[in-house]
Amino acid sequence: MLKTGNDHLEGLRDGRIVYIGSEKVTDVTTHPAFAHAAQTIADMFDAKREKKNLDLFSYEEDGERYSMWYLRAKTKDDLRRRMRCHKAIADMTYGMMGRSPDHVSGFVTGMATAPEVFDTDTHKFSANLLNYYDHCRKNDTYSTYAVLPPQAARNPDFYTRQNLPVPTLQVVAEKDNGIVISGMKMLATSGVFCDEIWIGNLLPLAPNQVKEAVTCAVPVNAEGLTLWSRQAIARNAANEFDSPLTWRYDETDSMVICDKVFVPWERVFVLGDATLAREIYIRTPGHCYGNHQSNVRFWSKMQLITGLCSRVAEATGAIEVPVVKETLGRMAALEATLSGMIHGQIEAAEEWPKGHMTFNRRMMYAALNWCTESHSAIIDQLRELAGGGVFQMPASVDVMHDPELRKLFETYWQTPQLPALDRMKLFKLVWDMVGSEFAGRQQQYEKFYAGASFIIRNHSYREAPWEMFHGVVDGLLGGYDVPEPPAKSASAD
Ligand SMILES: Cc1cc2nc3c(=O)[nH]c(=O)nc-3n(C[C@H](O)[C@H](O)[C@H](O)COP(=O)(O)OP(=O)(O)OC[C@H]3O[C@@H](n4cnc5c(N)ncnc54)[C@H](O)[C@@H]3O)c2cc1C
């Protein structure tokens, strides 16, 4: 099924409980903090259904049509189709929404190519995983995930020693028909706009953290579940002109609080196995599918930043300076570098798991590392090119509604390069990219969405072919030995 934007918005009016501070939000589709971003998501669902877009955004299997992000790739061409779809979705938000509907669904789909990983001596959950995958693609489900314990609360001993409840989400009861979970998880980006939340553990657990070792899926409106949103940045935007990115693309981040939430057995995928709770992401292509989407999403953002750098240099006149042209050349090279890293993941795809193809994992992790490491410097380049122009603009576009102020503005703010209004429009966008609260949140997102940098590098370490690297060194070392002593000369005798 391919649902409409309206279907999706209707589904969000389901009694879910969302707090912004002490304010309880009753309808996320109309509340000023969320309405525009909700519409952005709805537009994605509508675009997917347009006849001209059907092959880009969806595929057919056994007579039914499903969103492309549920495609289990069997060929390189399937991987290409996934990549093109991610790019088109990311282009709709210029890469500003990381947890668009093609992100977590990629995790679930990747896992569904190796469901046997979910079967252990204790539990046989592979059927649950496959049924869930089927449920998601049939209902065109939009899921987010909360797969980290709350920051600084990762040591349960501290709480148990003081007889305090451990805040980390864990199983508090097992029943005939399911389990009961309580506690917190961070950080459900886009959770307020989603149908479901995948709860799990992307960080390794200690072997004795058995109760925390639960992976399951819950609807956002589950009884006992509340979302605690961070500050709603979109509410600070007076209008789209002054804050174009904030206005449409604040995907939101929320803490997930579960207070005795019941989860039926069919939605439980890992239980009581601290090792498996983490390994499901890396022993299946789940992590790879999901983070390939992140690479592609960053690529869209990179194209916007590169274009903005050039437009700003045109607007200030700096483009005439050779060193500025060199800077722009460097930005274009960085964009092409990322494009190459993304395409390479398909050209060097892995035949894994059996009967399937997966993006090249090492290249995917390399791109993930590159994006995380480079984002601050890339944004800083745009900041440098913008200079003080961002603050030269009036506080609000409402000056255009006052004939006297408008005349002054249009006279004094025009430059040889651009009329005043065009300049204001460009520099307002630049500020939303480099300096607004939205921009600050983007910076934090790019640093942490896939884990802190040491976690990301650890993935590259794990996947690296150290034997091959060692073989190269050993081959070189093996090519020479202790030299023969120099021949003694006749005169020395
Ligand atoms: C905007 C945003 C959106 C997010 N969205 C989601 C989401 O949708 N779903 C989800 O599950 N999670 C999400 N996250 C959470 C994200 O996965 C975590 O923020 C991330 O894993 C880092 O964990 P932490 O924030 O607890 O930082 P910490 O683990 O506390 O690390 C903070 C810093 O401490 C240092 N540090 C800590 N431990 C070590 C160590 N062992 N070695 C070296 N340095 C160390 C590092 O400098 C690190 O950068 C999001 C985070 C942000 C900021």
Tokens of 113: 């190519």
| Ligand 1 pocket, residue 143 CB under 6 Å | no
Predicted local distance difference test score (pLDDT) of residue 165: 81
The enclosing H or E element of 212 equals: none
Interval 333-392: pLDDT, tens: 999 999 999 999 999 999 999 999 999 999 999 999 999 999 999 999 999 999 999 999
**8-state DSSP, 165:** P
CA–CA dist 437, 435 (Å, integer): 7
> Is 336 in contact with 129 (CB distance < 8 Å)?
no
| Ligand 1 pocket, residue 227 CB under 6 Å | no
Per DSSP, the three-state class of 183 is: strand
CA–CA dist 305, 439 (Å, integer): 12
Predicted local distance difference test score (pLDDT) of residue 491: 62
From residue 134, give the alpha-carbon distance in Å to each of 71, 141, 224, 264, 482: 11, 10, 26, 17, 64
**8-state DSSP, 358:** B
pLDDT tens string, the chain, 493 residues long: the values are: 999 999 999 999 999 999 999 999 999 999 999 999 999 999 999 999 999 999 999 999 999 999 999 999 999 999 999 999 999 999 999 999 999 999 999 999 999 999 999 999 999 999 999 999 999 999 999 999 999 999 887 777 788 788 888 899 999 999 999 999 999 999 999 999 999 999 999 999 999 899 999 999 999 999 999 999 999 999 989 999 999 999 999 999 999 999 999 999 999 999 999 999 999 999 999 999 999 999 999 999 999 999 999 999 999 999 999 999 999 999 999 999 999 999 999 999 999 999 999 999 999 999 999 999 999 999 999 999 999 999 999 999 999 999 999 999 999 999 999 999 999 999 999 999 999 999 999 999 999 999 999 999 999 999 999 999 999 999 999 999 999 999 987 665 5
| Ligand 1 pocket, residue 148 CB under 6 Å | yes
Q: Ligand 1, atom 30: nearest CA belongs to which residue?
A: 151
Q: Ligand 1, atom 31: nearest CA belongs to which residue?
A: 452
Predicted local distance difference test score (pLDDT) of residue 369: 98
CA of residue 203 to ligand 1 center, whole Å: 10
Give φ, ψ of 445 to 5 degrees.
Answer: -60, -50
pTM for this one? 0.96
CA of residue 113 to ligand 1 center, whole Å: 28
Question: Residue 253 CA: which ligand 1 atom is closest?
Answer: 3
Per DSSP, the three-state class of 61 is: strand
Closest to 98 in 3D by CA, of 243, 256, 282, 300: 300
CA of residue 152 to ligand 1 center, whole Å: 10
| Ligand 1 pocket, residue 452 CB under 6 Å | yes
Return the amino acid letter for 267: R
CA of residue 385 to ligand 1 center, whole Å: 30
CA of residue 448 to ligand 1 center, whole Å: 5
Q: Ligand 1, atom 6: nearest CA belongs to which residue?
A: 187
| Ligand 1 pocket, residue 253 CB under 6 Å | yes
> Is 126 in contact with 116 (CB distance < 8 Å)?
yes
CA–CA dist 123, 247 (Å, integer): 46
Q: Ligand 1, atom 39: nearest CA belongs to which residue?
A: 454
Residue to mutate (ligand 1; options 187, 194, 227, 442; most atoms within 8 A of CB): 187
Q: Which residue has the tokens 């706009």?
A: 193
- For residue 381, give every residue at least 6 positions away whose Cβ sits within 8 Å of its Cβ, in sequence order, or none: 305, 309, 327, 331
Predicted local distance difference test score (pLDDT) of residue 122: 96
| Ligand 1 pocket, residue 451 CB under 6 Å | yes
Residue to mutate (ligand 1; options 97, 102, 148, 291; most atoms within 8 A of CB): 148
Q: Ligand 1, atom 13: nearest CA belongs to which residue?
A: 187
| Ligand 1 pocket, residue 412 CB under 6 Å | no
Predicted local distance difference test score (pLDDT) of residue 153: 79
Q: Ligand 1, atom 41: nearest CA belongs to which residue?
A: 454
Q: Ligand 1, atom 37: nearest CA belongs to which residue?
A: 452
Closest to 204 in 3D by CA, of 17, 478, 462, 408: 462
> Is 143 in contact with 105 (CB distance < 8 Å)?
yes
Residue to mutate (ligand 1; options 97, 189, 448, 455; most atoms within 8 A of CB): 448
